[in-house]
A and B are shown apart, each in its own frame.
Chain A
Amino acid sequence: NAGVTQTPKFQVLKTGQSMTLQCAQDMNHEYMSWYRQDPGMGLRLIHYSVGAGITDQGEVPNGYNVSRSTTEDFPLRLLSAAPSQTSVYFCASSYAAVQETQYFGPGTRLLVL
């Protein structure tokens, strides 16, 4: 198993550009989530999904969209990038949301100029 994979590893965007951060897992996990990590802030939940076709907002959802058309994939879309979205983004998955250990991807580092 590849586990949780994320692409790209690093991306530079200009303000106003859009892009999609990809996340995929091959463990047949139902629960997937996106976090952002900023210095001194820990990780904060952006969006999550408890299964294909079901998504919900986390703590900091503004400026981001998600969809879950398959169990394996959970892309995160930035509609109009802003410098405040400069961060490291982590995707995570688990078999179920309840008390399950979450497996994290390697992260995507995003710089918005």
Chain B
Amino acid sequence: AQTVTQSQPEMSVQEAETVTLSCTYDTSESNYYLFWYKQPPSRQMILVIRQEAYKQQNATENRFSVNFQKAAKSFSLKISDSQLGDTAMYFCAFMKPLTGANSKLTFGKGITLSVRP
């Protein structure tokens, strides 16, 4: 079974600075997908960024980028130029490719990020 670990429960960053959120995972699969989701106080789950394991290039999405280390099974999220609206809970998630009808997201426990003005 896959597991996703987010070992930092909380982080804080000054507005306009850069912060990195850590995530590690455990799997025996060679092909899979990794995600970062953001959950603001509204509780809506919002996709931040996605990475396919077969791609060596790290995914980027505007101010958000990942550092994907497949051998180390590490998938960290870097947020540049932090904004107050980035204050939220962030979840790392893993998905293995569909086999039969058994594909699902496995989530980490999340990290609460606070951006200070």
Contacts and interface: CB of A to CB of B under 8 A. Distances in A.
Contacts of B46: 104
Interface residues of A, number: 29
Chain B contact patch, size range: 20 to 34
Given A106-B43, A107-B43, A99 B33 contact: yes
B43 A102 contact: no
B95 A99 contact: yes
Contacts of A40: 109
Contacts, number: 60
Contacts of B43: 88, 106-107, 109
B44 A98 contact: no
Chain A residues touching B, majority SS: strand
A109 to B, nearest CB: 8
B55 to A, nearest CB: 11
A19 interface: no
Contacts of A103: 47
Contacts of B37: 104
